[in-house]
Amino acid sequence: MAPSGDGRLPIPILMVDESLELRQTMPEEAEEMFAVVDADREYLREWLPWLDNTNSPDDETVFISGLLEEHRKGEGVNYAIRLDGRFIGGMSLNWIDRGNRGCGVGYWLSEEYTGQGIVTRCCGRLMDHCFDDLGLHRFVLEAATENFASRAIAERLGMRLEGITKDREWLYDHYVDSALYAITAPEWRVHNQG
């Protein structure tokens, strides 16, 4: 698909299947979002650098407001992952590079729901949207080199490992290296047919 060039914004609701959806995060979800983050704080802390800045529903409200501004500018979007209506995690296009038709994904999931293929299915649906609806060409996923669960998601999605970035992210008291995976729209279409 050719680039749209019309500044289309990501769609606020993406149905993954009948019980699983990606729904653009809104300020009224701050309390629910914070409760899930707070309950899984130690689990999430292993790979996510933002936990120390998330200490109340008000922190989430400020965060969501910033994300909505990014969405308005067409620079990104943050989705709540909802299973049977329940908030269980988040997925976002952390950046959208319209000039080069690329984007980067980030996500987190409540520990209770890991190992069920939820993030893989959500990423697949988001890739369909990015390639088919937004006219993007390249989808990027970065994960800490030791975050084998996230790396396995990239590999299941047919993404290619493009390299390792040294000291890519500061994680509380140390740097972690990052594995950079990517897939293009034509590669994704071939992967989906297989």
Reported as a single tens digit per residue, the pLDDT across 121-161 is 999 999 999 999 999 999 999 999 999 999 999 999 999 99
132 domain residue, yes or no: yes
Residues 6 or more apart whose CB falls under 8 angstroms from that of 137 comprise 3, 100, 101, 102, 131, 184, 185
7 domain residue, yes or no: no
Residues 6 or more apart whose CB falls under 8 angstroms from that of 50 comprise none
90 domain residue, yes or no: yes
- Spatial separation of the C-alpha atoms in residues 145 and 42, rounded to whole Å: 20
3 domain residue, yes or no: no
| Residue 118, pLDDT score | 98
5 domain residue, yes or no: no
CATH number at residue 94: 3.40.630.30
- The pTM assigned to this predicted structure is 0.91
4 domain residue, yes or no: no
Our count of domains for the chain comes to 1
Categorize the per-residue pLDDT at 3 as very low, low, confident or very high, splitting at 50, 70 and 90.
very low
8 domain residue, yes or no: no
| Residue 1, pLDDT score | 33
63-87 confidence digits (pLDDT tens): 899 888 888 888 899 999 999 999 9
175 domain residue, yes or no: yes
Range of the domain at 41: 13-193
